[in-house]
Amino acid sequence: MDNKFDEIFSSLRYKIKTIVSMYEEQKIVNRELHSENKGLNEKLSELENKLKETERDFENLKMAKVLSTVSEGDIHDTKLQVNRIVREIDKCIALLNR
């Protein structure tokens, strides 16, 4: 009878050690994944900022092109662009006044 309990106890001990070992391995993997996730989130944020900057530069280039090629037909478009810029400036001033 003791032999049977020893065998069961030994089997149970082995299974517990295996589970603890697997748990420790998963903790390491989890830490690595959290670290990778943090790095990817930082890179995503950086790329989003770069995209916004590029879009702003593109809008500025479009504005410069519109202002540099003003002709009789482009006056209306130019007025619309200038009005858009004035609205953006007003928004910036409102944000600064907060």
- For the segment 1-12, the average pLDDT, to the nearest whole number, is 85
Query: What's the confidence (pLDDT) of residue 72?
Result: 58
What integer best gives the mean pLDDT of the chain?
87
Does residue 85 contact residue 66 with C-beta atoms inside 8 Å?
no
pLDDT in tens, 38-56: 999 999 999 999 999 999 9
Distance of CA 81 to CAs 46, 66, 75, Å? 29, 8, 10
Sequence-ordered list of residues with C-beta below 8 angstroms from that of 63, at least 6 positions apart, any chain: 81, 85
Query: What's the confidence (pLDDT) of residue 36?
Result: 96
Does residue 66 contact residue 82 with C-beta atoms inside 8 Å?
no
70 pLDDT tier (thresholds 50, 70, 90): low
Query: What's the confidence (pLDDT) of residue 74?
Result: 65
Does the structure show a pLDDT above 90 at 29? yes
Does residue 66 contact residue 78 with C-beta atoms inside 8 Å?
yes
Does residue 10 contact residue 3 with C-beta atoms inside 8 Å?
no
Does residue 97 contact residue 86 with C-beta atoms inside 8 Å?
no
